Structure 1
Amino acid sequence: MIRKAIVPMAGLGTRLYPVGVVLPKGLMPFVLADGKLTTGLQLIAETLLRAGIEQIGIVVSPENRPVYEAFLEGGGERYAPARAKRPEMQRIYESLRTLRGHLNFIEQPELLGLGHAVWCARSFACGEPTLVFLGDHIPLPLGDPTPIQQVAQAYETVQCPVYGVHRVPRSKVSAYGILRGELTDAPRLYRLQRLYEKPTPDYAQQHLHTEGLPPDEFFAHSGIYAFPPALWETLDHIATQYDPASGEWTLTHAQQHLLKQMSAYLYEAESHWLDFGQLTNTATHFATLRGAAMYKA
């Protein structure tokens, strides 16, 4: 059973510039349909906990860690008089304190890529099977743990890496890690054959199309990864050879290494996703969380 999840949130948030300069993207605020204010951090962490995860490692930059810590402190004694007069504030404060008990902050001193961010959490993982969940993705319906549970359950069955995927059109493949799969006897479960980080449309068409999908649709990572303990030895091996001058240390590097050692699988969940790191979609995101629309990738 997977008990731990790693959520990388250390990025600069360049897609949210200039707001991301002062506000970590995990603290991006959202107003829910009931009028309550929340953040990406809360939405992701609460969804993971509902899915059965017990401890969550949040990978942050050293500069932003105090900001997250202060947020979860809820203002401490400074806000105590105000909380005493407003029961709703006190309830929010108590929920933040409860949430803090499930969170472990892990610093990523250099922003070298997603693979590096996960490697920074190796002490937190303690060699256990681990879920990785992207720090700017929220499953819909809001807070629905189903896609996380489905990937975790698939992992329990196959005991190999399982990656959540969704479909993207040919025109968008260059923005994603693209994976080619082969349908298995289990519904929505594919055996991974090949993957490539941000391919050109032509390369994807020639090498990464999954049989059974429409000609102009491809599987892309949806932001959920279930890894076996072998991930940690693989990342340690990559760390000994990685040269920052060679480019970004992606998680795809580890996935490719693991694929040489064992089978891996793709799970196509039925859920839609909010990527709140995309500033161009912010209006849609707010409308969705308010219940006014449904976002589709």
Structure 2
Amino acid sequence: MYKIRKAVIPAAGFGTRFLPETKAMPKEMLPIVDKPTIQYIVEEILASGIEEILIISGHAKRAIEDHFDSSPELESHLEEHGKEALLEEIRKISGIKVHYVRQPYMRGLGDAILCAKDFVDDEPFGVILGDDVVYNGKGEPALHQLIRQYEKTGTTIVGCQMVAEEQVSSYGIIDGKPEMDPDLMKVSDMIEKPSVAKAPSRFAALGRYVITPDIFSILEETKPGKGGEIQLTDALRVLARNGKVYAYNFKGQRYDTGNKLGYLKAVVEFALRREDLGADFRAYLKEIVGEM
């Protein structure tokens, strides 16, 4: 069994739900307080023991590359003005080993994963979607939880959590039964955005995966679906029918920063957790709630 050494972040989408802001600014660079969304994801990957990261980028995504690049002028400015803490933070970011490949056309998540084939080089790999943040405090990172399950099963692991009934039709829903662990299910099928009546469960696939390399041959044979997109879910269903997919109910507070309400929740809750902001911000929120 291979060790999980590599992770992929698909981050090529247009971010249409945040237009006009995302016309020139990648949605993955939208800040949660003072840190871009994608940096939280990169930090989770590193905390999970991953050695190499590939970001699947696209049009107008140069800001992501610039963020993880060195910035000699900024570093000199911070050093000259004695801002040592900020200087250390900036140098830490630029020291992260990140690779990039461009997805030429927006043909779905499955197509984005195909862009990582050469980088993966026939090894299992982690995947975190570029707008999906999970808070675990000092606990085990969500991706590492999935890696542990891969080490037990040797198969693809889909990260999932239970969602409210009204959210079922927005996600890929897991059809499976628990094995070995009440939080670990052997997947028999995945249903993309079903109605509540047709949903086999309320466990939704939520932006984290450990995937075995046999997914690539399946993706290469997967035909485009709605909107001309190649869906990762379709390829995972093929693996599942062969008994090669498990789903794990990972622990952590998950935020879908790809939609406006999820993003605002992330900003507010991360700010409230901050030692330097939390108390004053909480007092401010109480004040304006009483006025509005």
**Under a length normalisation based on structure 1, what TM-score does the superposition of the two structures give?**
0.84
Instruction: Decide which of 43, 47, 52 is 2:40's aligned counterpart.
Output: 43
> Cα 1:8–1:43, aligned 2, differ >3 Å: closer, same or farther?
same
SS at the partner of 2:14?
coil
What is the CA-CA distance between 1:144 and the residue it aligns to?
4.8
The answer to whether the Cα contact below 8 Å between 2:183 and 2:248 also exists between their aligned partners in 1 is yes
Residue in 2 that maps onto 1:247: 228
Instruction: Decide which of 76, 81, 89 is 1:80's aligned counterpart.
Output: 76
SS at the partner of 2:158?
strand
SS at the partner of 2:216?
helix
What is the CA-CA distance between 1:46 and the residue it aligns to?
0.9
> Cα 1:202–1:52, aligned 2, differ >3 Å: closer, same or farther?
same
The answer to whether the Cα contact below 8 Å between 2:10 and 2:113 also exists between their aligned partners in 1 is yes
> Cα 1:7–1:142, aligned 2, differ >3 Å: closer, same or farther?
farther
Distance 2:170 2:266 in 1: 19
Residue in 1 that maps onto 2:6: 4
What is the CA-CA distance between 1:250 and the residue it aligns to?
1.2
Distance 1:243 1:141 in 2: 36
> Cα 1:136–1:246, aligned 2, differ >3 Å: closer, same or farther?
closer
Instruction: Decide which of 217, 228, 235 is 1:233's aligned counterpart.
Output: 217
Query: What is the Cα-based RMSD across aligned positions, in Å?
Result: 2.1
Residue in 1 that maps onto 2:286: none
The answer to whether the Cα contact below 8 Å between 1:127 and 1:232 also exists between their aligned partners in 2 is no
Instruction: Decide which of 67, 78, 83 is 1:71's aligned counterpart.
Output: 67
Instruction: Decide which of 55, 58, 72 is 1:58's aligned counterpart.
Output: 55
Unaligned stretches of 5+ in structure 2?
A: 279-292
> Cα 1:62–1:290, aligned 2, differ >3 Å: closer, same or farther?
same
Instruction: Decide which of 126, 145, 156 is 1:131's aligned counterpart.
Output: 126
Distance 2:186 2:123 in 1: 23
The answer to whether the Cα contact below 8 Å between 1:47 and 1:145 also exists between their aligned partners in 2 is no
Distance 2:126 2:179 in 1: 22
SS at the partner of 1:43?
helix
Give CA-to-partner distance per residue, 1:146-203, whole Å, 9 cap, x none: 3211211111111111111101122211110111111113231111122111112222
Unaligned stretches of 5+ in structure 1?
A: 32-36, 210-217
Give CA-to-partner distance per residue, 1:5-54, whole Å, 9 cap, x none: 111111111121211112111211122xxxxx211121110111011111
Residue in 2 that maps onto 1:179: 174
Distance 1:21 1:270 in 2: 34
Distance 1:113 1:141 in 2: 29
Number of aligned residue pairs: 271
Give CA-to-partner distance per residue, 1:109-153, whole Å, 9 cap, x none: 111111111111111111110111111111123575432112111
Q: Percent identity?
A: 27
Distance 1:220 1:245 in 2: 20
SS at the partner of 1:73?
coil
Distance 2:265 2:60 in 1: 30
SS at the partner of 1:90?
helix
What is the CA-CA distance between 1:244 and the residue it aligns to?
7.2
Distance 1:174 1:48 in 2: 29
Distance 2:254 2:44 in 1: 13
SS at the partner of 1:164?
strand
Residue in 1 that maps onto 2:15: 13
SS at the partner of 1:234?
helix
The amino acid that maps onto 1:63 is: A
Q: Which deviates more from structure 2 when the two are superposed, residues 49-58 or residues 223-232?
A: 223-232
Give CA-to-partner distance per residue, 1:83-105, whole Å, 9 cap, x none: 43232332122112112xx2111
Task: Note the 1:1-297 alignment, pairs <5 A.
Answer: 1-31=3-33, 37-64=34-61, 66-77=62-73, 80-85=76-81, 86-99=83-96, 102-142=97-137, 144-204=139-199, 208-209=200-201, 218-238=202-222, 242-243=223-224, 247-291=228-272
> Cα 1:103–1:171, aligned 2, differ >3 Å: closer, same or farther?
same
